[in-house]
Amino acid sequence: MSALVEVTKPEPHITVVCLNRPDRLNAISFELVTELHDTFDLIAADVDCKVVIFTGAGRAFCAGLDLKDFGTPPKPGEHRHMPAGVDAQTFMSNLTVRMRDLPQVIIAAVNGPAFGGGLALACAADIRVASDSATFCSAFIRTGLSGTDIGITYLLPRLIGNANAFDLILTGRDIDAAEALRMGLVSRVVADSDLEELALSYARGMAGYTASGLRTTKEVLWHNAEASSLTSAIALEARNQNLLNYAPDVRQHMEKYRKKTTG
């Protein structure tokens, strides 16, 4: 990967993906989008990785689309995520789908402004934690375009409810970390200097679980956000639990857990 996306592995089973355009507040260009697609492809194939921490370099998480230098998208057919018939808008928006479908859990560590597409990327993560200096803004409507982009109208209402989502998307106002916490957009807020360790502590806890268990739990959580009924949600849960009984890593983990809890 080039310098636009930095990938590190600070501890076993944990991968950190860091947007690295600090001079542009990690704003989104098509080159950055291409690298993120490639990065997530590599992570999806990494059987050792269980948890991804997604953050930004410098003082921002992601300021949204770079209106001064958004670059050039791949031509249709030049990239596996840009096949013939897919336009540049869809190529960018599909990042949120890619994050949802990633087998690993994604923790967004929001270390500063998360505006526009940056907010959408944070919402596409499975867990969000933030620093005191984090700010959040839908922003799209400020440009004169529709306030709806990159999956935000699907993701944000499911996190903070329709009333709050309509407020933020239609007004384009920004909120601080404290208000984001009150709305339920983020799970925890800590001092800037403590954010990295907080994200790692979340990741360490989950890294001790089985890859199979994490993958299927994430899958069911996302699928059942759209479940038509409690009955259909339970059916999917039961299917996965039954299948996991035959997974080798699950059997080993269950035996260790049984011995630990029963003596």
Mean pLDDT of 115-122: 96
Give the helix/strand (H/E) hosting 167.
Answer: helix 152-171
The dihedral region occupied by 139, where left means phi > 0, alpha psi between -120 and 50, and beta the remainder, is: left
Give the helix/strand (H/E) hosting 5.
Answer: strand 5-11
Instruction: Report the range of poorest mean pLDDT among 24-38, 106-120, 131-145, 167-181.
Output: 131-145
Listed by start position, the domains of the chain span 5-207, 211-262
CA distance 141 to 35: 27
Look up tokens 């270390």; give the residue.
111
pLDDT of amino acid 124 = 98
Look up tokens 């709050």; give the residue.
164
CATH architecture of the domain covering 5-207: Alpha-Beta Complex (3.90)
pLDDT of amino acid 1 = 46
pLDDT of amino acid 137 = 96
Distance from the Cα of residue 100 to its chain's centroid: 7
pLDDT of amino acid 14 = 99
Pick the closest to residue 116 from 81, 53, 70 (CA basis): 70
Pick the closest to residue 117 from 81, 88, 151 (CA basis): 151
Cβ-based neighbours of 217, under 8 Å, separated by 6 or more: none
pTM of the model: 0.90
CA distance 4 to 32: 6
